Amino acid sequence: MSGGLAGRGYVPALDGLRALAVIGVLVFHDDRLGGGFLGVDLFFAVSGLLITSLLIDEHDRSGTIDLIGFWGRRLRRLLPAALMLLVATVIVFRLFADTGEWIVARTDAPWAQFYVANWHLIASGNSYWDSFAAPSAFEHLWSLAIEEQFYLVWPVVVMVVLARRQLRDLTVVVAVGTLLSIAAMVLIFDGGDPTRVYMGTDTRAFSLLVGALFALPAIRGQIDRFVGNRARFATVIAVSLLGGIGVMWVVAKGSSDWLFRGGLPAHSAMSALLAAFVVSGLTHVSSVLSARPLVAIGRLSYSLYLWHWPVFVFVNPDRFALDRWLITAIRFAVSLVLSVASYRLVEKPVRFRAPWAHGSRGRATFAVSMLVAVIVWVAIPVPATTNAVNDAALTAVLASNPMPVTTPPISPVTSTIPASTTTTAPLPPATSSTSTSTTTTTTIAPSGPPVETLLWYGDSIANDTWPPLGAALTEAGVDARSAAFGGVGLVAREGFDDPFGVLTGHLDEVDPDLLVMQLSLWDGYESSENQVAAFDELGQIITERNLRLALVTIPVRSDDQADPGEAVLVANAEQFAAEHRNLVVLLDQTEVFGDTFRLDIDGDGNPERKRDGVHLCPTGALAITFWLVKQLSVNYEGIAVPESSEWILGDWRNAERYDDPPGACAGL
C-alpha cells in the first residue's frame, strides 16, 4: 500500500505554496485583492493532501492509526498559539479598542477556542461578506474550525476503512464524500448570501477531500510516473495551474455566484493537483516555490494567518488617520513581528522542546490551558446589553433644542402656514444630533382624506427606524404597521423574494391610507435603467390603488461606502415624484443627518449609527422619527405630532436589533 509521503522527507516547495496562500489572504483582507480569500482553499487542499498521506503512511507501517497520538500532534501544532492569540487579543482589545470591538471579540472567543467558530458565525445570521458589518477580530478562525473538525473525524474514517486493508474502499469514500460536499454547496446555495455554504463544514469538506484524493497511492503513483516521464509537459501544466489560480484570485469576489456553483470545487481541484505535482518533485516549479523568502513565509504561515486579522481590525483608517499605504505597511509589519514571536516562542518550543506537552503531562497541560482561557472569559464578561441609550441619554435628547420644521412650497392640507416658512412643532424637542440645515424639501402636498392606517416599508435601515417611529405614530393615534426587512429594495435581487410581490401582499393585508417607503441602499447599486423600471412598476401600483406615497431618501453614508448609484437613485426618485405629484411626496433625509457622514453627530458618545456606518442606533432612529413625524404631520391630515413624550422612554429602545451585533451601539 505504499505511495504516501513517507521517505520523501521535507518538501520546501509546499511551504512555498503555503506562503502564496497566506499572502493572498493578507492582501485580500487589506482590500487589495478581491479573490485573495481563495488562499484558504489552497491551504485546505495542501492540508488534505498531507494529512491523508501521513495517515496512510502510518497505517502502512503499523497496521493501524494511533488516534490519540494524531490528535495530540495536531493540538500541539495548533492550539497553544491559538489560545495565546485569543487571550491576548481579548485583553488588549478590552484595554485599548472601542467598546463594540472588544465586546464582539469577547463574544466570539469561546467559540473559536473550541473550534466551532464557523457554525457560530453562521448561526449569528451576519454575512461574512457584508461590507457594512463591523468585523470580529476572530472571524478568520472559521477556517481553522473546519480543519480541526476534519482532523477529528477523518482519521477515524481512514482507520476504519483501512482496517480491511482495501485502499479501493478509501478511494470510493473520498470520491463520494467529495461529490456529496460539492452537491450540498450547489443545492443549498440559493443565490443570496453565501455565508452558510462558504463556512459550513459539510459544504466545504470537498476542499480538504480533493487534497485527500491526490494523496491516495494509486493516484499518487500515476502522478509520479507522469512527472518522471513527461516532466516538461508536467511543468507546463503546473505553470498553467498557477496561472489559472492567479486569474481566479484577481477576478473572483465573495459575491460571485459562479464560485458557489462550481468555481470553488474547480479551484480546490487545481490547488490539489498543483500540490501533488510539487510533492512529486517537479523540478522547475518546485525550485521557484522553494525560494528562501517564500519558504520562510510558508513556515510562518500559520502564525501569520492567526495574528494578521486582529492586527488589521485594530489598525484601521478610522482609528489612525494615516495614508492608506502607510496603514498597509504598519499592518504587515506588526503582523510579521507577532508571527515571528509566536513561532519562535510558542509554536516551536511546544512542538519540539517541551516534555510537558507530551503524554499524561501534556493532557493535563491541555486541560489547564483551556480552563485558564475560560477563566479569562468569565473575568471579562459581556454586558447583558450594549445598547448605549439609557434614560439619561434620552432625557438629554428631550432637553435639546427644538428642531425646525420645513413646510413644503405649497401649503399642506392640514396647515395654513404660508409656503417656505419654518416653524417649531409642538413635539417634545428633537435630538440635537440632527443637521442644522434648513434645506426645503421640494414636495407638493397631495390632497386626500385623513390618514388612519399607515404602512412603513424599506430595508434594514428602515427596520432600524421602526421601533421609535411605530411608537410615535401609535401615540399619535395612527394605526401604523411595518413591512420593513433586510435586503428589500425596489429592484428584484437574486435570492430574495420579489419586492413588489411582497409589497402588494402587505398592501392587500393592511389596505393603508398612506404608504411611507424609505429608499433602499441596495437599489443604489443598480443601474439607472433598472431603477427607472422599478419606479415605473411602483407607479402602476399606487396609481391603480389611488394610494398616496411618501418616499424617504437614504441617510448619507461615508465616502468609502457610498455608491455613486445612490445619487442617481435620488434623482430618479425626484423625477418619479414629479410625474406622480398628485400622489407622491419626496422627503430628503439629509435634513436629519446632514450631508457629511458621522457615527456620532453631536459628539455625546452615543452614536447615531452602528459601527458598520450604515445601520441605526436608537438615537439615530429617534432623530429620524422626530423629523419624519413632523414632515408627515404637515403633509397629511390625520397625522399629528404626539402631545405626550412618554413613548420616547418606552420599551422600543431595548429592541434586540440595536444590540446586533453585540457592541454595535455601545458608547464611543
What is the pLDDT, as a whole number, of residue 406?
Answer: 38
Distance CA 503, CA 521 (A): 17
User: What value does the mean pLDDT take over residues 442-452?
Assistant: 67
Local confidence band at 286 (pLDDT 50, 70, 90 cut-offs): confident
What is the pLDDT, as a whole number, of residue 456?
Answer: 96
User: Is the model's pLDDT at 426 over the cut of 80?
Assistant: no
What is the pLDDT, as a whole number, of residue 611?
Answer: 79
Local confidence band at 45 (pLDDT 50, 70, 90 cut-offs): very high
What integer best gives the mean pLDDT of the chain?
85
Distance CA 89, CA 86 (A): 5
What is the pLDDT, as a whole number, of residue 639?
Answer: 92
The CATH code for residues 391-659 is: 3.40.50.1110
- Tell me whether the omega of the peptide bond preceding residue 661 falls within 30 degrees of 0, making it cis: yes
User: What value does the mean pLDDT take over residues 615-624?
Assistant: 88
C-alpha cell at 341: 514571536
Dump pLDDT digits (tens) for 204-231: 999 999 999 999 988 988 998 888 888 8
Helices 324-342 and 67-96, axial angle in degrees (round to 10): 140
Under a CB-based contact definition with an 8 Å cutoff, are residues 445 and 406 in contact?
no
- The residue behind cell 487579543 is 89
Q: What percent of the chain has pLDDT over 70?
A: 87
Parse the chain into domains and list their residue ranges.
12-379, 391-659
How distant, in Å, are the alpha carbons of 511, 515, 544, 580 from that of 548? 12, 6, 11, 10
Under a CB-based contact definition with an 8 Å cutoff, are residues 461 and 614 in contact?
yes
Distance CA 156, CA 153 (A): 6
DSSP 217: H
User: What value does the mean pLDDT take over residues 168-182?
Assistant: 94
Q: Are strands 404-406 and 584-587 parallel, antiparallel or unpaired?
A: unpaired
Dump pLDDT digits (tens) for 344-402: 999 999 988 888 888 888 889 999 999 999 999 999 988 766 665 555 556 655 555 34
User: Where do the DSSP E strands lie in 438-594?
Assistant: 453-457, 479-482, 514-518, 548-552, 584-587
What is the pLDDT, as a whole number, of residue 156?
Answer: 96
What is the pLDDT, as a whole number, of residue 391?
Answer: 59
> In this predicted structure, which of 1-10, 506-515, 573-582 has the lowest mean pLDDT?
1-10
What is the pLDDT, as a whole number, of residue 438?
Answer: 35
Dump pLDDT digits (tens) for 470-516: 999 999 999 999 999 887 789 987 767 788 999 999 999 999 999 99
User: What value does the mean pLDDT take over residues 327-342?
Assistant: 97
Under a CB-based contact definition with an 8 Å cutoff, are residues 547 and 512 in contact?
yes
User: Is the model's pLDDT at 62 over the cut of 60?
Assistant: yes
**How far, in whole angstroms, is CA 424 from its chain's centroid?**
42
Dump pLDDT digits (tens) for 308-322: 999 999 999 878 989
Dump pLDDT digits (tens) for 525-551: 889 999 999 999 999 999 999 999 999
